Amino acid sequence: AQSVTQLDSHVSVSEGTPVLLRCNYSSSYSPSLFWYVQHPNKGLQLLLKYTSAATLVKGINGFEAEFKKSETSFHLTKPSAHMSDAAEYFCVVSRDRDDKIIFGKGTRLHILP
Partner 1 sequence: GAVVSQHPSWVICKSGTSVKIECRSLDFQATTMFWYRQFPKQSLMLMATSNEGSKATYEQGVEKDKFLINHASLTLSTLTVTSAHPEDSSFYICSARDATSGRKNEQYFGPGTRLTVT
Which of 21, 25, 90, 111 is in the footprint of partner 1 by CB under 8 A?
90
Residues 18-37 that bind partner 1 (CB under 8 A): 32, 34, 36
Q: Residues 54, 103, 45, 88: what is their CA dihedral angle, to the nearest 10 degrees?
A: -110
From the list 15-23, 57-65, 74-82, 93-101, the region that binds partner 1 by CB under 8 A is 93-101
Query: What's the start-to-end Cα distance of the chain, in Å?
Result: 41
Closest CA to 35 of 16, 62, 70: 62
Which of 44, 59, 62, 86 is in the footprint of partner 1 by CB under 8 A?
44
Measured from the Cβ of residue 64, the count of other Cβ atoms closer than 10 Å reads 16
Q: How far is the CB of 13 from partner 1 (least distance, A)?
A: 20
Residues 60-89 that bind partner 1 (CB under 8 A): none
